[in-house]
């Protein structure tokens, strides 16, 4: 019996850990009181679990953001190169360098090199995975109570992924276009890196975290705590969550999210329990009165962690190379701080929140690739030649003085390309169709994206790129450069962070009614307002979008007994609306695009509904769970699940993620098409100790 | 030796007659008068209601062990669940001498307050809440030392659960499967702070609209460890408590609906929030309180806490693996009030009614059986109370001078599934939390009874 063992066990541990100090608590004290001397209350306690988690794909669909799941791997796409306007082509698309255009050029060029068909899968191996996710997790929480006022609390999490997946091997394209060159080699040169979060400069910025390609060990919490009266002070690595909304992060703004493992595909009712990125923080809460609680924090800013390229739940297309400027931009020394007041007055309560923070999600823009590599292939060689014959009369600092047609800014085209956001490497974008398709998928505008990469980079214009006026011109220009690159081009983007002030106000009301259905129904309204929030420009321009954003959520939850034979059902309904971005912060201006058109943007708000319930079995040995997130633009994530509390320290959980981002309308108008690939069944088996 | 004036069934007949006319406790003399005079309980009851030997005409003697072989001799003195456990499940108990010392049946302060109450007992106001004779909130002790109605009996149970201003219980709950194997093994801390109906006669922090704060913190198993719930009880017993919970998965305190009184809080357990104290819900959310019997019974009344055992854990016996029931002594109680009540404010409750078996001497229950909607016996929440004094070992109560008095175990037995939650009041449970009978109330309020407190107590 645990009760028998408990005291002995605790004492043994203290004894082993703290030696003679253990004597303070091993006495045969029978006076059950709280008062005591220093270290009288010393105690150390451990608990934890190990858990095997795996998710099996039920559709066989691969993540389209990864090389092996790219939807163009199996498509053959025709490409045609055109004479650049900078070389007298008029406008992009006017003079094809293929059969027709060649005649316009007097038959100087053989047509075969300037029009082709490309199948991405000829270069990149397609993946075929049964499992999306397989990890072994161990967690333990330790609490060392030193005195009545002081304690140390820690939670250690260790994760191992045996990486049984079929994944992209950059070595497989090592002989093509000179291989992938740019970016952090631990992320872009080798096999997919499951866990290392590496920013530009090579640092791993998360404190108290140790990671490798297939393992992750870190302290989600390790803190010292001081408590006295109504005051509680916590100093150390920790997470902080506010608000009544579940999953909708209206008040929950203190921490970024760690999306490296299972993205947002875990049990909905667990919310972000293991996903908030811990920050080195000082948290002070004070019970101002019986009804009002003040909570505040100062934290070293830590960003949201996205999945690495080609890992199962990566959300950034692998044709991009990301340069995270967290350290180089000096964000690693920035502080976030915030304060919340929460008042409860029986049936009514309120919340007020103000937080000054760096938005942990960050924003993206084009950045110079830094990769010195010429174009290749016949057209590429011609462009290289055309560039080299230009006199080097200009310089990058005064690029406007030099016409790209007449003079060049750099020694050679390799150097010039290194100052564009592109590298002529394999496993990038192979066709204009792919460009537009993926731009729409990630809620960017293909035309604006191209133009920003040209207008904001003199080197792009220096290699004969010119802004496009419309989709067709952009299409022609893109295909031209992809052919000139000798296959594909990879795009380089930088991630940076901006400060914002987030204000929140909330109220809740507990309804009491004679009507059993309405009785004890809790209504909670939360509003977040952020003036001048910075969003990624839909063209990846460095001119970020700055707009005021509001977020409003309504949460209604209650218990209701439907069946005599079963315990009551916990029911949760939520609604959320945002006026500038979607649930995960992507600006609505980039919505609505497709392979065939640039993004018109979405008018109106993004709107979401959540319905969830939890139905325990008698004795709660089984629990049926259900949660559905509906994007009113035509997407749904539905998650039915069963939890079996098997006893004997074993818990088994199974849940199915049904995802459909194509229920109605343009899939690129709703959130869920982004994770449409992740339809899967997840099984978790835990053993507690 | 007393001269027997009446035949052996006189006491029982008298109790039935008292029930019929709505009289209070006691046969020879009203029990309340004897109590007020701090007199001998023997003045209230004839011999056959004070001694199992006399009642059974010597067939069963004090000190005997009752088991399946002889339980028929005392069948009529047992609640049906315990009878079944002894008859079919291998349970046994030893009969100890009937307690006649009032002072051992209460915490010392509560005893004194109840003595004061005999001179000026409580009454119900128009809303059905207990008030003093001058209409103020109740000031401590039993409001109805001589309960004559079901409402009065229930009020005695519900106003001050632990019968002290602050109590903190370290608890172990072992859930046994029908085959006797251990399914779950939980530990938690239960803290309760009275804001009114206090022994000091004051209103804690002037919270005149509240009755108590109550917090439960689970410390193991790991899947529930760090979950904590704070219930804020209103003095108005028509209102549901406010409920705030810290769940590890949410990492924050959320407000939760509080009408889920008939759901297991954690997997496997057979008890619901409605069960403890035979008064787990606000009194006026139940109704139709009715005393259906007054009769002598055998039960685990006035038990002795096993404070001489490691961590106050008792030995076990019976059931498929010999571990289903705590070893305990039973006492022959002269007058047990059998109280029936119904969950009138819960139209969808799975419970049709409950019967609580309450010792008329101190208005504390031992058995608390709920019946399902088909009126089949469902779960018996058996709870034993007694002094924390054994031999020369004493655990002191709030005044630091007198022995503590509290519950020692609960056995929540599901008669339909044969699943048992075996709950023990420990000296200390996981994370080093101790049972506490004496504490600075302000300190405990900050430590356990605020939203900040449950946030802090929760897992990180």
**What is the domain count for chain B?**
1
One domain, residues A609 and A681: yes
Q: Which of residues 348-377 of A touch B (CB under 8 A)?
A: 349
Q: Which of residues 416-445 of B touch A (CB under 8 A)?
A: 417, 419, 424, 426-432, 434-440, 442-444
User: For residue B212, which residues of chain A lie inside 8 Å, CB to CB?
Assistant: none
Position B234 confidence tier, pLDDT thresholds 50, 70, 90: very high
pLDDT for B459 equals 82
Please check whether residue A290 touches B, CB under 8 A. Answer: yes
Query: Strand B419-426 relative to strand B405-414: parallel, antiparallel, unpaired?
Result: antiparallel
**What is the domain count for chain A?**
3
pLDDT for A28 equals 32
Nearest to A567 among B264, B417, B431 (CB): B264
pLDDT for B4 equals 56
Tokens of B261: 């009184």
Contact at CB, A508 and B254, closer than 8 angstroms: no
Position A554 confidence tier, pLDDT thresholds 50, 70, 90: very high
One domain, residues A312 and A378: no
Question: Is residue A173 in some structural domain?
Answer: no
Range of the domain at B288: 156-457
Please check whether residue A478 touches B, CB under 8 A. Answer: no
DSSP lists the bridge partners of residue B191 as B168, B215
One domain, residues A396 and A429: yes
pLDDT for B92 equals 98
Tokens of A240: 């902080």
User: For residue A619, which residues of chain B lie inside 8 Å, CB to CB?
Assistant: 264, 267-270, 414, 417, 419
Read off the pLDDT of each residue in B182-211 and give the average, rounded to a whole number: 95
pLDDT for A23 equals 31
The last residue of one of the domains, among A481, A512, A546, is: A481
Please check whether residue B452 touches A, CB under 8 A. Answer: yes
Question: Is residue A487 in some structural domain?
Answer: no
Please check whether residue A153 touches B, CB under 8 A. Answer: yes
Residue A78 CB: number of other CB atoms within 10 A? 12
Question: Is residue A326 in some structural domain?
Answer: yes
Q: What is the pLDDT of residues A608-641, one digit of tens each?
A: 999 999 999 988 899 999 999 999 999 999 999 9
Instruction: Report the percent of chain A where pLDDT is more than 70.
Output: 92
Mean pLDDT of chain A: 90
Please check whether residue B404 touches A, CB under 8 A. Answer: yes
Please check whether residue A649 touches B, CB under 8 A. Answer: yes
Residue A412 pLDDT > 70: yes
Contact at CB, B260 and A570, closer than 8 angstroms: yes
Please check whether residue A504 touches B, CB under 8 A. Answer: no
DSSP lists the bridge partners of residue A207 as none
DSSP E strand stretches across A409-454: 422-423
Q: Which of A170-179, A282-291, A319-328, A387-396 has the lowest mean pLDDT?
A: A387-396
Nearest to B428 among A7, A243, A293 (CB): A7
One domain, residues A323 and A456: no
Please check whether residue B322 touches A, CB under 8 A. Answer: no
One domain, residues A357 and A371: no
Q: What is the pLDDT of residues A340-356, one digit of tens each?
A: 999 998 889 999 999 99
Question: Is residue B89 in some structural domain?
Answer: no
> How many A×B Cβ pairs under 8 Å?
253
Nearest to A43 among B174, B226, B431 (CB): B431
pLDDT for A30 equals 34
Distance from CA of B422 to the nearest CA of A (A): 11
Contact at CB, A1 and B260, closer than 8 angstroms: no
Residue B207 pLDDT > 70: yes
One domain, residues A422 and A529: no
Position B40 confidence tier, pLDDT thresholds 50, 70, 90: confident
> What is the CATH number for B401?
2.50.20.10
Question: Is residue B70 in some structural domain?
Answer: no
Read off the pLDDT of each residue in A409-428 and give the average, rounded to a whole number: 96
Residue A270 pLDDT > 90: no
What is the phi/psi pair of residue B318, to 5°? 70, 175
Instruction: Tally the C-alpha atoms within 13 A of residue B68's C-alpha that lie toward its C-beta.
Output: 9
pLDDT for A24 equals 32
What distance in Å separates the CA atoms of residue A640 and residue A625, rounded to the nearest whole number? 6
Q: Using an 8 Å Cβ cutoff, are A405 and A558 in contact?
A: no
Distance from CA of B405 to the nearest CA of A (A): 12
Range of the domain at A23: 2-46
The complex scores an ipTM of: 0.86
Please check whether residue A342 touches B, CB under 8 A. Answer: yes
User: For residue B446, which residues of chain A lie inside 8 Å, CB to CB?
Assistant: 227, 229-230, 287
pLDDT for A113 equals 63
One domain, residues A81 and A134: no
User: For residue A232, which residues of chain B lie inside 8 Å, CB to CB?
Assistant: 452, 455-456
Residue A3 pLDDT > 60: no
Please check whether residue A273 touches B, CB under 8 A. Answer: yes
pLDDT for A98 equals 64
pLDDT for A38 equals 53
Residue A39 pLDDT > 70: no
pLDDT for A619 equals 85
The last residue of one of the domains, among A453, A481, A509, is: A481
Mutation target for B interface from A2, A154, A227, A341: give the one with most B CBs within 10 A: A2
Distance from CA of A282 to the nearest CA of B (A): 14
Read off the pLDDT of each residue in A473-490 and give the average, rounded to a whole number: 96
Q: Which of residues 74-103 of A touch B (CB under 8 A)?
A: none
For the four alpha carbons of B38, B40, B45 and B48, in that order, the dihedral sign comes to positive
Question: Is residue B47 in some structural domain?
Answer: no
Residue A670 pLDDT > 60: yes
Query: Strand B166-176 relative to strand B182-194: parallel, antiparallel, unpaired?
Result: antiparallel
Nearest to B419 among A1, A616, A619 (CB): A619
Question: Is residue A169 in some structural domain?
Answer: no
Read off the pLDDT of each residue in A59-73 and give the average, rounded to a whole number: 96
Distance from CA of A643 to the nearest CA of B (A): 10
Please check whether residue B391 touches A, CB under 8 A. Answer: no
Q: What is the DSSP string of A597-654?
A: B------S-EEEEEEEEEEEPGGGSEEEEEEEEEETTTEEEEEEEEEEEEETTEEEEE
One domain, residues A460 and A538: no
User: For residue A154, which residues of chain B lie inside 8 Å, CB to CB?
Assistant: 460
The residue with tokens 């020692």 is: B408
What distance in Å separates the CA atoms of residue A566 and residue B304, rounded to the nearest whole number? 38
User: For residue A276, which residues of chain B lie inside 8 Å, CB to CB?
Assistant: 251
CA–chain centroid gap for A423, Å, is: 24
Within 8 A by CB and 6+ apart from B111, the residues are B102, B103, B105, B141
Position A21 confidence tier, pLDDT thresholds 50, 70, 90: very low
Nearest to A287 among B252, B439, B450 (CB): B450
One domain, residues A54 and A189: yes
Contact at CB, B252 and A286, closer than 8 angstroms: no
User: For residue A519, which residues of chain B lie inside 8 Å, CB to CB?
Assistant: 259
Q: Which of A27-41, A607-621, A662-676, B2-16 has the lowest mean pLDDT?
A: A27-41
pLDDT for A192 equals 96
Position A25 confidence tier, pLDDT thresholds 50, 70, 90: very low
One domain, residues A77 and A211: no
Residue B120 pLDDT > 90: yes
Q: Which of residues 570-609 of A touch B (CB under 8 A)?
A: 570
Encode chain B in three state secondary structure.
CCCCCCCCCHHHHHHHHHHHHCCCCCCCCCHHHHHHCCCCHHHCCCHHHCCHHHHCCCCCCCCCEECCCCHHHHHHHCCHHHHHHHHHCCCCEEEECCCCCHHHHCCHHHHHHHHHHHHCCCEECCCCCEECCCCCECCCCCCCCCCCCHHHHHHHHHCCCCCCCEEEEEEEEEEECCCCCEEEEEEEEEEEEECCCCCCCCCHHHCCCEEEEEEEEEEECCCCCCCEEEEEEECCCCCCCEEEEEECCCCEEEEECCCCCCCCCCCCCCCCCCCHHHCCCCHHHCEEEEEEEEEEEEECCCEECCCCCHHHCCCEECCCCCCCEECCEEEEEEEEEEEEEECCCCCCCCEEEEEEEEECCCCEEEEEEEEECCCCEEEEEEEEEEECEECCEECECCCCCCECEEEEEEEEEECCCCEEEEEEEECECHHHCECECECCHHHHHHHHCCHHHHHHHCCC
One domain, residues A453 and A600: no
Please check whether residue A516 touches B, CB under 8 A. Answer: yes
Q: Give the angle B308-B314-B317 at the CA atoms, nearest 5°.
A: 145
What distance in Å separates the CA atoms of residue A424 and residue A83, rounded to the nearest whole number? 19
Q: What is the DSSP string of A241-277?
A: ---S-SSS-SS--SS-BB-TTTTT-S-GGGTTTTTBP
CA–chain centroid gap for A668, Å, is: 18
Question: Is residue A102 in some structural domain?
Answer: yes
One domain, residues A420 and A410: yes
User: For residue A48, which residues of chain B lie inside 8 Å, CB to CB?
Assistant: 222
Question: Is residue A123 in some structural domain?
Answer: yes
């Amino acid at each position: 019996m645990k009760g028998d063992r408990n005291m002995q066990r605790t004492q043994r541990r203290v004894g082993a850990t703290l030696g003679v100090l253990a004597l303070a608590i091993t006495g045969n004290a029978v006076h059950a009181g709280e008062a005591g001397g220093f270290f009288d209350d010393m105690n150390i306690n451990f608990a934890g679990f190990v858990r095997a988690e795996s998710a099996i794909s039920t559709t066989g669909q691969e993540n389209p953001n990864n090389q092996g799941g790219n939807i163009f791997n199996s498509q053959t796409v025709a490409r045609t190169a055109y004479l650049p306007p900078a070389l007298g082509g008029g406008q992009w698309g006017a003079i094809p360098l293929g059969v027709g255009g060649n005649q316009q050029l007097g038959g100087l060029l053989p047509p075969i090199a300037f029009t082709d068909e490309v199948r991405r899968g000829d270069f990149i191996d397609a993946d075929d995975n049964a499992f999306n996710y397989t990890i072994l997790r161990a967690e333990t929480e330790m609490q060392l109570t030193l005195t009545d006022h002081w304690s140390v609390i820690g939670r250690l999490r260790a994760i191992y992924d045996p990486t049984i997946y079929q994944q992209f091997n950059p070595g497989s394209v090592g002989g093509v276009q000179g291989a992938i060159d740019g970016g952090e080699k631990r992320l872009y040169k080798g096999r997919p890196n499951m866990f290392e979060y590496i920013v530009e400069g090579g640092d791993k910025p998360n404190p108290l975290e140790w990671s490798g390609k297939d393992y992750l060990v870190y302290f989600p919490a390790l803190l010292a705590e001081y408590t006295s009266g109504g005051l509680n002070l916590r100093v150390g690595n920790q997470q902080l969550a506010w608000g009544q909304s579940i999953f909708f992060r209206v008040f929950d703004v203190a921490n970024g999210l760690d999306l490296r493992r299972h993205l947002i595909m875990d049990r909905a009712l667990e919310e972000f329990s293991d996903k908030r990125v811990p920050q080195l923080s000082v948290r002070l809460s004070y019970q101002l009165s019986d009804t009002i609680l003040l909570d505040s924090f100062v934290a070293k800013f830590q960003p949201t962690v996205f999945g690495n390229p080609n890992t199962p739940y990566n959300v950034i297309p692998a044709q991009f190379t990301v340069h995270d400027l967290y350290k180089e931009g000096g964000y690693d020394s920035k502080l976030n701080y915030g304060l919340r007041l929460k008042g409860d007055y029986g049936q009514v309560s309120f919340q007020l929140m103000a937080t000054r923070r760096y938005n942990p999600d960050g924003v993206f823009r084009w950045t110079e690739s830094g990769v010195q590599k010429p174009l290749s292939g016949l057209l590429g060689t011609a462009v290289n030649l055309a560039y080299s014959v230009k006199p080097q009369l200009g310089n990058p600092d005064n690029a406007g003085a030099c016409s790209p047609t007449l003079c060049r800014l750099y020694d050679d085209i390799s150097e010039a390309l290194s100052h564009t956001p592109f590298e002529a490497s394999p496993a990038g974008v192979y066709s204009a169709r792919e460009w537009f398709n993926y731009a729409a998928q990630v809620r960017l505008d293909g035309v604006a994206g191209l133009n920003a990469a040209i207008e904001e980079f003199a080197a792009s214009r220096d290699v004969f790129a010119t802004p496009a006026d419309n989709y067709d011109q952009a299409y022609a220009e893109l295909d031209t450069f992809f052919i000139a690159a000798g296959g594909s081009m990879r795009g380089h983007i930088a991630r940076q962070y901006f400060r914002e002030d987030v204000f929140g106000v909330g109220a809740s009301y507990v309804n009491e009614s004679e009507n059993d259905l309405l009785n004890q129904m809790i209504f909670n309204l939360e509003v977040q307002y952020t003036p001048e929030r910075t969003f990624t420009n839909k063209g990846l321009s460095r001119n970020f979008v700055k707009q005021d954003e509001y977020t409003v959520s309504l949460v209604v939850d209650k218990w209701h007994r439907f069946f005599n034979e079963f315990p009551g059902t916990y029911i949760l309904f939520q609604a959320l609306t945002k006026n500038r971005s979607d649930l995960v912060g992507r600006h609505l201006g980039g919505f609505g695009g497709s392979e065939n058109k640039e993004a018109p943007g979405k008018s109106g708000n993004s709107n979401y509904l959540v319905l969830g319930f939890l139905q325990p079995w008698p004795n709660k040995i089984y629990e049926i769970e259900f949660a559905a997130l509906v994007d009113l633009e035509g997407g749904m994530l539905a998650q039915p699940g069963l939890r079996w509390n098997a006893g004997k320290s074993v818990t088994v959980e199974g849940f199915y993620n049904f995802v459909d981002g194509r229920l109605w309308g343009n899939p690129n108008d709703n959130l869920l098409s982004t994770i449409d690939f992740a339809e899967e069944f997840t099984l978790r088996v835990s053993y507690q100790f | 030796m007393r001269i027997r004036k009446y035949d052996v069934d006189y006491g029982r007949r008298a109790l039935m007659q008292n029930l019929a006319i709505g009289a209070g406790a006691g046969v020879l003399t009203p029990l309340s008068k004897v109590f007020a005079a701090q007199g001998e309980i023997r003045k209230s009851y004839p011999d056959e209601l004070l001694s199992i030997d006399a009642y059974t005409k010597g067939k069963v003697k004090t000190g005997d062990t009752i088991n399946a072989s002889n339980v028929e001799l005392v069948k009529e003195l047992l609640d049906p669940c315990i009878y079944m456990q002894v008859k079919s499940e291998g349970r046994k108990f030893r009969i100890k001498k009937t307690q006649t010392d009032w002072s051992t049946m209460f915490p010392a302060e509560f005893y004194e307050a109840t003595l004061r109450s005999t001179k000026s007992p409580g009454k119900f106001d128009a809303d059905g809440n207990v008030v003093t004779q001058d209409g103020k909130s109740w000031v401590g002790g039993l409001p109805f030392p001589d309960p004559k109605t079901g409402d009065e009996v229930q009020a005695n149970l519900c106003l001050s659960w632990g019968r002290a201003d602050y109590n903190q219980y370290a608890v172990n709950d072992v859930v046994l499967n029908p085959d006797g194997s251990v399914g779950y093994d939980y530990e938690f801390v239960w803290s309760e702070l009275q804001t009114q109906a206090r022994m000091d006669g004051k209103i804690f922090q002037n919270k005149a609209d509240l009755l108590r704060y109550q917090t439960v913190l689970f410390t193991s198993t790991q899947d529930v460890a760090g979950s904590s719930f704070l219930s804020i009880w209103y003095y108005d017993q028509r209102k549901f408590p406010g409920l705030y919970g810290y769940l590890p998965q949410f990492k924050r305190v959320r407000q939760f609906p509080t009408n889920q009184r008939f759901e297991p809080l954690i997997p496997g357990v057979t008890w619901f929030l409605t069960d403890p104290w035979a008064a787990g819900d606000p009194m006026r959310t139940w109704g139709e309180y009715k005393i259906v019997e007054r009769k002598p019974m055998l039960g685990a009344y006035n038990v002795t806490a096993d404070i001489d055992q490691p961590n106050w854990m008792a030995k076990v016996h019976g059931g498929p693996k010999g571990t289903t029931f705590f070893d305990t002594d039973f006492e022959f109680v002269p007058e047990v009030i059998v109280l029936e009540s119904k969950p009138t404010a819960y139209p969808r409750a799975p419970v049709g009614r409950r019967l609580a078996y309450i010792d008329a001497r101190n208005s504390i229950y031992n058995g608390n059986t709920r019946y399902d909607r088909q009126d089949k016996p469902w779960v018996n929440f058996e709870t034993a109370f007694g002094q924390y004094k054994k031999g020369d070992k004493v655990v002191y109560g709030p005044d630091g001078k007198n022995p503590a008095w509290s519950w020692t175990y609960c056995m929540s037995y599901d008669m339909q599934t044969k699943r048992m939650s075996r709950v023990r009041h420990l000296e200390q449970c996981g994370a080093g939390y101790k049972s506490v009978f004496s504490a600075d109330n302000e300190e405990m309020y900050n430590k356990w009874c605020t939203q900040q407190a449950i946030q802090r107590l929760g897992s990180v």
